[in-house]
Amino acid sequence: METIKPGARGPAVEDIQDRLFRLGLLDAADITGVFDPKTVEALQRFCEKVSLPVQDEVNAKVWSALVDATYQLGDRTLYLRMPNFHGNDVLQLQQALGALGFDCGYEDGIFGAHTELALRKFQMNMGLPSEGIAGAYTYEAINHLHHSWEGKGPSHHKIFLGFARAADVLESNAICLFGTDDFTREVASRMSNLSQATNPISRIVSADALSVPPDDEMLLVHVLVKGDQISDSVPSVDASEDDDTFGLRIHSAISIARESRPPRIAIILPGTVWEDAGRDRSAQHYAILLLDGLCSALTQDL
């Protein structure tokens, strides 16, 4: 591209100013189409921010950095290619996946092999085609879960492994999930579907999907909503305490339950609505939360 220098005018300058505005480096009133001193100052601050040599003109390298910095999640379809996609939208994708428990490796804004693998696991767990391509349906799923990842860092704590990375425990633990009303049965069914999508030979299934009655060795996990009646003899875990101890608390409840036949625990949801989400999104959110906590609990003995 031709270098754009101070004093230049036209749509190209206006585009540069618009990108600097979106980055918070220029006021809206300063988008004039004229490469003036305010634009130079904003450009120099941008160069400092992205570790480029400070300069007062826009060459191909600076323009590429400006474009990368102003991509937003969902602006384009992302997938593994050479050369790799890179930019702010890739970084936002990595941050969202990392906070949801799908490790992308370094959050560097480069769509490499680790990012593709994390994306495939996320898609699998959401019941989407596991193709490693971030398109409209994947962005919709990520945006539906924005309350779970916005403002949060990647989860690297041992007790939060993400059920996509705990596929082995899905086939080595026989668990029957069940609810006692339409909503909790829906959560149990979605947990079963997610576990089957993660590992086709998973033994974590909902009562509705069982072909034979559970035996005395199978762990029964009762999903309830706060306020529902439950026996004092059944170890219970409150899912409304959204902290890093959720998996450990489930593990403790399972350890106590193993002393009885059949072993049984209860997980209590705070309600049937999560944040401002509708029924389906709420059920999916709680299914992901509970299955992840359950898998984290089961990995404690590995």
Q: Is 171 within 8 Å of 214 (Cβ atoms)?
A: no
pLDDT of residue 219: 94
* Sheet with strand 236-238: strands edge to edge: 204-206, 175-179, 219-225, 264-269, 236-238
3-class secondary-structure state, position 223: strand
Least Cα distance to 238 among 276, 273, 266, 206 occurs for 266
Q: Is 269 within 8 Å of 221 (Cβ atoms)?
A: no
Q: Give 275-279 contacts, CB < 8 A, sequence gap 24+.
A: 275/147, 277/144, 277/147, 279/183, 279/186
Q: Is 112 within 8 Å of 80 (Cβ atoms)?
A: yes
pLDDT of residue 182: 94
Least Cα distance to 103 among 114, 113, 92, 93 occurs for 114
pLDDT of residue 159: 33
Regions in the chain scoring below 70 on pLDDT: 152-167, 242-244, 275-276, 301-302
169-227 tens-digit pLDDT: 888 889 999 999 999 999 999 999 888 877 788 889 999 888 778 888 899 999 999 98
| Residues whose CB falls within 8 Å of the CB of residue 74, separated by 6 or more in sequence, listed in order | 89, 136, 139, 143
CB-neighbour burial class of residue 264 (10 A; exposed 0-12, middle 13-18, buried 19+) = buried
Query: What whole-number distance in Å separates Cα of residue 186 and Cα of residue 79?
Result: 33
3-class secondary-structure state, position 267: strand
